Protein backbone atom coordinates (compact mmCIF):
# COMPACT_ATOMS: atom_id res chain seq x y z
CA UNK A 1 0.00 0.00 0.00
CA UNK A 2 1.29 3.48 -0.81
CA UNK A 3 1.99 5.99 1.95
CA UNK A 4 -1.01 8.00 0.81
CA UNK A 5 -3.22 4.88 0.94
CA UNK A 6 -1.96 4.17 4.44
CA UNK A 7 -2.73 7.71 5.60
CA UNK A 8 -6.23 7.46 4.16
CA UNK A 9 -6.85 4.09 5.82
CA UNK A 10 -5.66 5.33 9.21
CA UNK A 11 -7.71 8.51 8.85
CA UNK A 12 -10.98 6.78 7.99
CA UNK A 13 -10.50 4.06 10.60
CA UNK A 14 -9.85 6.76 13.19
CA UNK A 15 -12.95 8.65 12.06
CA UNK A 16 -15.07 5.49 12.40
CA UNK A 17 -13.73 4.78 15.88
CA UNK A 18 -14.39 8.36 17.00
CA UNK A 19 -17.91 8.19 15.54
CA UNK A 20 -18.85 5.03 17.44
CA UNK A 21 -17.16 6.31 20.60
CA UNK A 22 -19.34 9.41 20.48
CA UNK A 23 -22.53 7.47 19.77
CA UNK A 24 -22.02 4.66 22.27
CA UNK A 25 -19.87 5.97 25.06
CA UNK A 26 -20.18 9.75 25.09
CA UNK A 27 -23.63 9.96 23.56
CA UNK A 28 -24.69 13.61 23.49
CA UNK A 29 -28.31 12.57 22.90
CA UNK A 30 -28.56 10.39 26.00
CA UNK A 31 -30.14 11.93 29.13
CA UNK A 32 -27.51 14.11 30.71
CA UNK A 33 -26.29 13.53 34.22
CA UNK A 34 -26.10 17.03 35.65
CA UNK A 35 -28.78 16.08 38.15
CA UNK A 36 -27.49 13.92 40.90
CA UNK A 37 -29.15 10.59 41.63
CA UNK A 38 -28.22 9.43 45.16
CA UNK A 39 -26.75 5.96 45.31
CA UNK A 40 -29.63 4.40 47.29
CA UNK A 41 -32.10 5.87 44.80
CA UNK A 42 -30.07 4.59 41.85
CA UNK A 43 -30.34 1.02 43.10
CA UNK A 44 -34.12 1.33 43.25
CA UNK A 45 -34.47 3.08 39.89
CA UNK A 46 -32.81 0.16 38.09
CA UNK A 47 -34.71 -2.55 39.98
CA UNK A 48 -37.62 -3.99 37.95
CA UNK A 49 -39.44 -5.08 41.14
CA UNK A 50 -39.44 -1.50 42.42
CA UNK A 51 -41.12 -0.46 39.17
CA UNK A 52 -44.21 -2.55 40.04
CA UNK A 53 -44.59 -0.75 43.37
CA UNK A 54 -43.82 2.51 41.63
CA UNK A 55 -46.82 1.98 39.37
CA UNK A 56 -49.15 1.88 42.38
CA UNK A 57 -47.47 4.94 43.88
CA UNK A 58 -47.85 6.72 40.58
CA UNK A 59 -51.57 5.94 40.47
CA UNK A 60 -52.04 7.19 44.03
CA UNK A 61 -49.89 10.33 43.85
CA UNK A 62 -49.72 11.49 40.26
CA UNK A 63 -52.80 10.31 38.38
CA UNK A 64 -54.93 13.12 39.78
CA UNK A 65 -52.99 15.44 37.44
CA UNK A 66 -50.98 13.31 34.99
CA UNK A 67 -51.78 10.50 32.59
CA UNK A 68 -49.25 7.95 31.38
CA UNK A 69 -51.02 6.68 28.32
CA UNK A 70 -48.31 4.26 27.14
CA UNK A 71 -49.04 2.14 30.19
CA UNK A 72 -52.80 2.64 30.28
CA UNK A 73 -52.87 5.16 33.12
CA UNK A 74 -55.31 8.02 32.75
CA UNK A 75 -56.51 10.86 34.93
CA UNK A 76 -58.44 9.54 37.94
CA UNK A 77 -61.33 11.86 37.17
CA UNK A 78 -61.56 10.34 33.67
CA UNK A 79 -61.39 6.70 34.77
CA UNK A 80 -64.14 7.46 37.29
CA UNK A 81 -66.55 8.39 34.50
CA UNK A 82 -69.20 5.70 33.99
CA UNK A 83 -68.61 5.55 30.21
CA UNK A 84 -64.83 5.13 30.51
CA UNK A 85 -64.67 1.37 30.86
CA UNK A 86 -66.59 0.88 27.66
CA UNK A 87 -64.44 3.43 25.78
CA UNK A 88 -61.27 1.65 26.92
CA UNK A 89 -62.54 -1.69 25.73
CA UNK A 90 -63.96 -0.54 22.40
CA UNK A 91 -61.39 2.10 21.40
CA UNK A 92 -58.29 0.94 23.23
CA UNK A 93 -55.68 -1.70 22.56
CA UNK A 94 -55.06 -4.09 25.46
CA UNK A 95 -51.63 -3.90 27.08
CA UNK A 96 -50.74 -7.51 27.78
CA UNK A 97 -48.54 -8.50 30.68
CA UNK A 98 -47.13 -11.82 31.78
CA UNK A 99 -47.04 -12.29 35.51
CA UNK A 100 -46.26 -15.52 37.37
CA UNK A 101 -46.60 -17.42 34.11
CA UNK A 102 -50.10 -16.06 33.51
CA UNK A 103 -51.09 -13.58 30.86
CA UNK A 104 -53.40 -10.77 31.81
CA UNK A 105 -54.49 -7.34 30.65
CA UNK A 106 -52.62 -4.61 32.49
CA UNK A 107 -54.57 -1.78 30.95
CA UNK A 108 -55.64 -0.30 27.65
CA UNK A 109 -53.80 2.01 25.32
CA UNK A 110 -56.38 4.54 24.16
CA UNK A 111 -55.46 6.75 21.18
CA UNK A 112 -54.65 10.29 22.12
CA UNK A 113 -57.51 11.95 20.23
CA UNK A 114 -60.09 9.60 21.76
CA UNK A 115 -58.68 10.14 25.24
CA UNK A 116 -58.54 13.91 24.91
CA UNK A 117 -62.10 14.05 23.60
CA UNK A 118 -63.32 12.25 26.74
CA UNK A 119 -60.97 14.12 29.09
CA UNK A 120 -61.25 17.62 27.67
CA UNK A 121 -63.19 19.18 30.54
CA UNK A 122 -60.87 17.58 33.11
CA UNK A 123 -57.78 18.76 31.22
CA UNK A 124 -59.13 22.29 30.94
CA UNK A 125 -60.01 22.24 34.64
CA UNK A 126 -56.39 21.40 35.45
CA UNK A 127 -55.25 24.14 33.12
CA UNK A 128 -57.47 26.63 34.95
CA UNK A 129 -55.94 25.57 38.28
CA UNK A 130 -52.28 25.19 37.31
CA UNK A 131 -51.82 27.52 34.34
CA UNK A 132 -51.12 24.63 32.01
CA UNK A 133 -52.16 21.07 31.45
CA UNK A 134 -49.87 18.73 33.41
CA UNK A 135 -48.12 16.74 30.65
CA UNK A 136 -48.65 13.07 29.86
CA UNK A 137 -45.60 11.39 31.37
CA UNK A 138 -45.23 8.43 28.96
CA UNK A 139 -41.87 9.52 27.55
CA UNK A 140 -40.53 11.79 30.28
CA UNK A 141 -37.91 9.29 31.41
CA UNK A 142 -36.32 9.39 27.97
CA UNK A 143 -36.58 13.15 27.77
CA UNK A 144 -35.31 14.07 31.23
CA UNK A 145 -33.33 11.14 32.64
CA UNK A 146 -33.46 9.62 36.15
CA UNK A 147 -31.49 12.30 38.04
CA UNK A 148 -33.70 15.13 36.84
CA UNK A 149 -36.92 13.23 37.57
CA UNK A 150 -35.81 12.22 41.05
CA UNK A 151 -34.75 15.74 41.98
CA UNK A 152 -37.79 17.31 40.35
CA UNK A 153 -40.35 15.09 42.09
CA UNK A 154 -38.56 15.55 45.44
CA UNK A 155 -38.66 19.32 45.06
CA UNK A 156 -40.21 20.78 41.90
CA UNK A 157 -39.48 24.42 42.80
CA UNK A 158 -35.80 23.77 43.23
CA UNK A 159 -35.42 22.30 39.74
CA UNK A 160 -38.01 24.35 37.85
CA UNK A 161 -38.45 27.66 39.69
CA UNK A 162 -41.95 29.04 39.26
CA UNK A 163 -43.51 25.71 38.34
CA UNK A 164 -47.03 25.04 39.54
CA UNK A 165 -46.38 21.35 40.10
CA UNK A 166 -46.73 20.93 43.88
CA UNK A 167 -44.20 19.29 46.16
CA UNK A 168 -45.78 15.98 47.17
CA UNK A 169 -43.08 14.24 49.19
CA UNK A 170 -41.63 15.52 52.45
CA UNK A 171 -38.67 13.59 53.82
CA UNK A 172 -38.98 15.64 57.04
CA UNK A 173 -42.31 13.94 57.77
CA UNK A 174 -42.09 10.73 55.79
CA UNK A 175 -38.86 8.78 56.10
CA UNK A 176 -39.78 6.65 53.12
CA UNK A 177 -40.26 9.65 50.83
CA UNK A 178 -36.93 9.30 48.94
CA UNK A 179 -37.59 5.60 48.46
CA UNK A 180 -41.10 6.22 47.15
CA UNK A 181 -39.87 8.83 44.69
CA UNK A 182 -37.14 6.46 43.47
CA UNK A 183 -39.80 3.78 42.94
CA UNK A 184 -41.88 6.18 40.87
CA UNK A 185 -38.83 6.97 38.74
CA UNK A 186 -38.17 3.21 38.43
CA UNK A 187 -41.71 2.87 37.14
CA UNK A 188 -41.34 5.70 34.63
CA UNK A 189 -38.13 4.06 33.46
CA UNK A 190 -39.77 0.65 33.06
CA UNK A 191 -42.37 2.12 30.71
CA UNK A 192 -39.63 3.25 28.32
CA UNK A 193 -37.58 0.10 28.70
CA UNK A 194 -38.33 -2.76 26.29
CA UNK A 195 -38.74 -6.18 27.96
CA UNK A 196 -35.49 -8.26 28.12
CA UNK A 197 -36.36 -10.46 25.10
CA UNK A 198 -37.13 -7.44 22.95
CA UNK A 199 -33.96 -5.70 24.12
CA UNK A 200 -31.79 -8.66 23.11
CA UNK A 201 -33.49 -8.68 19.71
CA UNK A 202 -32.76 -4.99 19.19
CA UNK A 203 -29.11 -5.42 20.17
CA UNK A 204 -28.80 -8.27 17.70
CA UNK A 205 -30.42 -6.16 15.00
CA UNK A 206 -27.98 -3.32 15.73
CA UNK A 207 -25.00 -5.65 15.47
CA UNK A 208 -26.37 -7.22 12.27
CA UNK A 209 -26.86 -3.78 10.72
CA UNK A 210 -23.34 -2.65 11.53
CA UNK A 211 -21.99 -6.01 10.32
CA UNK A 212 -23.85 -5.55 7.06
CA UNK A 213 -22.28 -2.13 6.50
CA UNK A 214 -18.80 -3.42 7.26
CA UNK A 215 -19.28 -6.34 4.87
CA UNK A 216 -20.67 -4.10 2.11
CA UNK A 217 -17.81 -1.65 2.65
CA UNK A 218 -15.26 -4.44 2.33
CA UNK A 219 -16.92 -5.85 -0.81
CA UNK A 220 -17.10 -2.42 -2.42
CA UNK A 221 -13.49 -1.84 -1.61
CA UNK A 222 -12.42 -5.13 -3.20
CA UNK A 223 -14.60 -4.43 -6.22
CA UNK A 224 -13.13 -0.96 -6.61
CA UNK A 225 -9.62 -2.36 -6.43
CA UNK A 226 -10.46 -4.83 -9.17
CA UNK A 227 -11.84 -2.10 -11.43
CA UNK A 228 -8.87 0.16 -10.77
CA UNK A 229 -6.47 -2.66 -11.63
CA UNK A 230 -8.35 -3.31 -14.89
CA UNK A 231 -7.95 0.35 -15.84
CA UNK A 232 -4.16 0.17 -15.75
C1 LIG B 1 -51.76 18.69 41.62
C2 LIG B 1 -51.35 18.36 40.29
C3 LIG B 1 -50.09 17.56 40.12
C4 LIG B 1 -49.75 16.37 40.72
C5 LIG B 1 -50.51 15.61 41.78
C6 LIG B 1 -48.51 15.97 40.11
N7 LIG B 1 -48.12 16.87 39.17
FE8 LIG B 1 -46.49 16.76 37.98
N9 LIG B 1 -46.96 18.51 37.10
C10 LIG B 1 -48.06 19.26 37.39
C11 LIG B 1 -48.06 20.45 36.56
C12 LIG B 1 -49.09 21.56 36.58
C13 LIG B 1 -46.93 20.37 35.72
C14 LIG B 1 -46.43 21.37 34.69
C15 LIG B 1 -45.44 22.22 35.40
C16 LIG B 1 -44.67 23.20 34.57
O17 LIG B 1 -44.39 22.94 33.41
O18 LIG B 1 -44.32 24.23 35.15
C19 LIG B 1 -46.26 19.13 36.10
C20 LIG B 1 -45.09 18.69 35.52
C21 LIG B 1 -44.49 17.48 35.79
C22 LIG B 1 -43.31 16.99 35.11
C23 LIG B 1 -42.56 17.68 33.97
C24 LIG B 1 -41.46 18.55 34.48
C25 LIG B 1 -40.70 19.18 33.36
O26 LIG B 1 -39.48 19.11 33.38
O27 LIG B 1 -41.31 19.74 32.45
C28 LIG B 1 -43.03 15.78 35.65
C29 LIG B 1 -41.89 14.87 35.27
C30 LIG B 1 -44.03 15.53 36.68
N31 LIG B 1 -44.87 16.59 36.73
C32 LIG B 1 -44.06 14.38 37.45
C33 LIG B 1 -45.02 14.14 38.41
C34 LIG B 1 -45.06 12.93 39.20
C35 LIG B 1 -44.12 11.76 39.05
C36 LIG B 1 -46.09 13.06 40.06
C37 LIG B 1 -46.52 12.11 41.14
C38 LIG B 1 -45.55 11.80 42.14
C39 LIG B 1 -46.73 14.34 39.80
N40 LIG B 1 -46.04 14.96 38.79
C41 LIG B 1 -47.84 14.81 40.46
C42 LIG B 1 -49.03 18.97 38.33
C43 LIG B 1 -49.06 17.86 39.14
Instruction: Output the tens digit of pLDDT for each of the chain's 232 residues.
Output: 789 989 999 999 999 999 988 888 777 776 566 899 999 999 999 998 999 999 999 999 999 999 999 999 999 999 999 999 999 999 999 998 888 889 999 999 999 999 999 999 999 999 999 999 999 999 999 999 999 999 999 999 999 999 999 999 999 999 999 999 999 999 999 998 777 777 888 899 999 999 999 999 999 999 999 999 998 7
Q: How is the chain split into domains, by residue range?
A: 1-30, 68-136
Ligand 1 binding pocket includes 123 (Cβ within 6 Å): no
- Under a CB-based contact definition with an 8 Å cutoff, are residues 163 and 156 in contact? yes
Question: How wide is the angle at C-alpha 92 spanned by C-alphas 67 and 198, nearest 5°?
Answer: 80
- Under a CB-based contact definition with an 8 Å cutoff, are residues 164 and 50 in contact? no
Question: How wide is the angle at C-alpha 13 spanned by C-alphas 8 and 18, nearest 5°?
Answer: 125
- Under a CB-based contact definition with an 8 Å cutoff, are residues 183 and 51 in contact? yes
- Under a CB-based contact definition with an 8 Å cutoff, are residues 81 and 118 in contact? yes
Cα separation, 44 vs 123, in Å, equals 32
Atom 16 (ligand 1) nearest CA = 163
Ligand 1 binding pocket includes 139 (Cβ within 6 Å): no
Ramachandran sector of residue 29 (left: φ over 0; alpha: ψ -120 to 50; beta: rest): alpha
Atom 40 (ligand 1) nearest CA = 62
Task: Give the position, in ligand 1's atom list, of the atom nearest the Cα of 159.
Answer: 26
Q: What are phi and psi of 136, to 5 degrees?
A: -70, 135
| Mutational pocket test of ligand 1: of 165, 178, 185, 188, the residue with most ligand atoms within 8 Å of the beta carbon | 165
Ligand 1 binding pocket includes 55 (Cβ within 6 Å): no
Amino acid sequence: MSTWGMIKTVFFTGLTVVFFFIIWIKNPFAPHHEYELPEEAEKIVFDPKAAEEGRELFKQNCASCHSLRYDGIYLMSVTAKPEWEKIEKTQGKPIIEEKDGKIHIRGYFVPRDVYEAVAISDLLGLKASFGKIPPDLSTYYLARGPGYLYQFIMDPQKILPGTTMPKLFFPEFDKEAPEKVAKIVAYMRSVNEPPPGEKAKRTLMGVATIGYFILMGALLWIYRKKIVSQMH
